[in-house]
Structure 1
Amino acid sequence: MTIHIQEVIPRDGFQMEKKFITTEDKIKTINRINRTGVSKIEVTSFVSPKAVPQLSDAEEVAKNIERNDDVTYVGLVANLRGAERAADARLDEINLVMSASASHNKKNVNKTHEESLAEFSKIADFVKGSGMKINGTVATAFGCPFEGAISEEAVMDFIRKYIDLGMDSITLADTTGMANPNQIKRFITDVKAHFEDTPLTLHLHDTRGMGLANLLAGIEAGVTRFDSAIGGIGGCPFAPGASGNICTEDVVHMLGEMGIPHNVDLDELIAISKDLPDIIGRSDYPGQVVKAGKVSDLHEF
């Protein structure tokens, strides 16, 4: 079972940064990630620049990156106009997000569940026959900072609705790092039993230090696709305490040390991570391997 890493720093990582990251640096970073062996790159977000000013250059970035036939290029969209922009930029896939929590959905996209699903239906009709795929993300699938626990039945119902709309794959997101390994293993086992033919991704945050443990629980439950961000940066701008995607180089280092198959070049990830301070203007990001080195890096006695 090979684990596939899906890199989200260009969107979910950069969107939280206060310093505006230049379009040139975004493109250069994506072009470097292209060569690491990740299977997907979430390139940008086609949303209002007023909502996420950091990604106001979405078209310019998406249209000017190098393309690798082995990589799927993804853009997050919030409405039909965003889907049209992603199609014009020739992306392979769009990612639609609705929160299982009604409160978080209102805070995140200013829509009720019914309004989100109605918009998704329009997008699905637009995409039909275009060759572009749709991934449906259920955010706050393992807990909400406003509402607390989210019932597994509610999340299952959203997955069914996504599939009924024709979505090609599903992501379950632990948006604010509220999940624990037992919860992940139990719920993902149920999800895979009900939707075994639908590709599933876990999008995990390390907000409370359980990200890598949750990833291992996901692997034990049969998940092979995980989102992560180089440096462990990022999060949702509209949820309290949503910092910290799981860190790509830390994930890949752990997989390698455990002998779990993957196709990602750890040294290249570390090299990109070491250059992050010049790109984001700070060095206090969560990644650990970039600071401590690999366990195989020995020192003079």
Structure 2
Amino acid sequence: MEAELHTTVLEVGPRDGLQNEDRVLAPDDRIAFIARCVDAGARRIEAVSFVNPKRVPQMAGAEEVMAGVPRRDGVSYSGLVLNRRGLDRALDAGVDEVNVVLVASDTFSVRNQGSTMAEMLDAWDGIAAAAHDAGVPAGVTIAVAFGCPFEGETPPERVAEIARRAHAAGAFEIALADTIGVGVPAQVRDLTARVREAAPGTPLRFHFHNTRNTGYANALTAVDLGVTTLDAAAGGFGGCPFAPAATGNIATEDLLYALHRSGVETGIDMAAVAETGTWLGDLLGKPAPALLGRAGGYP
């Protein structure tokens, strides 16, 4: 009998979905959002970001959010960190995973994080070592892996080199992010091959935005290549405050529809996520970009 295909959808709505919205949600609303995701079946959630709240006010109160999230067996909460101070905050707050963003463009890295690529790679080495000592897995997300809004095409060799450095420091996972939504399936295939060669044995994850309507095609291409973890955001909200014209993540509910209809199981209730996307849109004062909440499932 053929083995059942399974994909883990990492819910990034509470962090990447909210960080670019005009309306700032209170920690209690963000806790309620996370609880709805857990109730729907999400088991990996990027819950918070330990960054300077003056630069990203939408992510203020990370410690308060982490103190209020439902703690259930099998549910893992990730926190984004950019430096040792962020790591210390994340560890004190009790995250289950640490996600470090390494940007494949100097211009974007300086604008987004105030550090060059080389400086962030050095910081990553220290963060990875400290997280390992604390017994918390640390992974890397390579931002603008498909293209940069300031420097143009991202050389795939650079992405592979960053992956090699992440692997050398013990990253438990490497994610490739199409931060501005310029990627196409051919790039997914190329980067998957390059990163698997550069970081043998390290699980690969993808993070797609649907800016140019290629996000779902890219996600399904990754699944066809054997990638078993994909990022998505309930409602399809999101974007980066430091990337011009950045739009939302692929929507969790729309991705679930494509996966489930393709015979790929996720363990997540598609209808419950669609309800959450609509609920979140009401909180944010705007319609959710996701389509499933409007069209409904099939059959």
Q: Distance in 1 between matches of 2:154 and 2:198?
A: 18
Partner in structure 1 of residue 129 of structure 2: 125
Q: In structure 2, what is the equivalent of residue 188 of structure 1?
A: 192
1:291 aligned residue (286, 290, 294): 294
Aligned residue number for residue 210 of structure 1? 214
- Between the aligned partners of 2:150 and 2:62, the Cα distance in structure 1 is 30
Structure 1 counterpart of 2:10, from 1, 6, 13: 6
The residue aligned with 2:284 is 280
Q: 1:179 maps to what in 2?
A: 183
Q: In the alignment, what sits opposite 2:82?
A: 78
Please give the secondary structure, in 1, of the residue aligned with 2:127: helix
How does the TM-score come out when normalised to structure 2? Answer: 0.95
Letter in 2 for 1:125: A
Say which is worse superposed, 122-131 or 64-73, in terms of deviation. Answer: 122-131
Q: Structure 2 CA distance, aligned partners of 1:196 and 1:116?
A: 22
- Separation (CA, whole Å) in 2 of partners of 1:37 and 1:276: 17
Q: How far 1:166 sits from its partner (Å)?
A: 2.0
For 2:40 and 2:205, how far apart are their aligned partners in 1? 19
CA RMSD of aligned residues (A): 1.3
CA deviations on 1:28-53 (whole Å, 9 max, x unpaired) are 11011112222310001000011100
Other-structure match for 1:40: 44
Give the corresponding residue for 1:51: 55
Q: Quick check: 2:132–2:138 contact (8 Å CA) kept in 1?
A: no
Indicate conservation of the 8 Å contact 2:33/2:280, yes or no: no
Structure 2 residue 217 is matched with structure 1 residue 201: no
The Cα shift of 1:187 comes to: 2.3
- Give me the whole-angstrom Cα distance separating, in 1, the residues matched to 2:281 and 2:209: 21
Q: Give 1:194 deviation, angstroms.
A: 4.3
The letter of the residue matching 1:144 is C
Unmatched 5+ stretches in structure 2:
none
- Helix, strand or coil: the match of 1:227? strand
Tell me, in whole angstroms, the C-alpha distance in 1 between the residues paired with 2:132 and 2:195: 26
Note if contact 2:206-2:230 (Cα within 8 Å) is conserved in structure 1: yes
Aligned residues: 295
The residue number in structure 1 matching 2:249 is: 245
Contact 1:75 1:93 in 2 (8 A): yes
Tell me the residue number matched to 2:227.
223
Counterpart residue identity of residue 73, structure 2 = D
CA contact 2:76–2:96 (8 Å) conserved in 1: yes
Aligned-residue sequence identity (percent) comes to: 40
Q: Which moved more, 1:146-155 or 1:82-91?
A: 146-155
Written as runs of structure 1 = structure 2, the 5 A alignment for 1:21-40 is: 21-40=25-44
Matched residue SS, 2:247: coil
Match of 1:18 in 2: 22
Contact 1:205 1:246 in 2 (8 A): yes
Q: Distance in 2 between matches of 1:293 and 1:196?
A: 40
For residue 64 of structure 2, the aligned residue among 60, 65, 71 is 60
The aligned residue for residue 104 of structure 1 is 108
- Closer/same/farther in 2, CA of residues 121 and 186 from structure 1, 3 Å limit: closer
Tell me the distance in 1 between the aligned counterparts of 2:124 and 2:14: 23
Amino acid at match of 1:239: A
Q: Is the 8 A contact 1:7 1:40 kept in 2?
A: yes
Q: Distance in 1 between matches of 2:285 and 2:174?
A: 34
Deviates more, 1:206-215 or 1:141-150: 141-150
What is the CA distance between 1:261 and its match in structure 2?
2.3
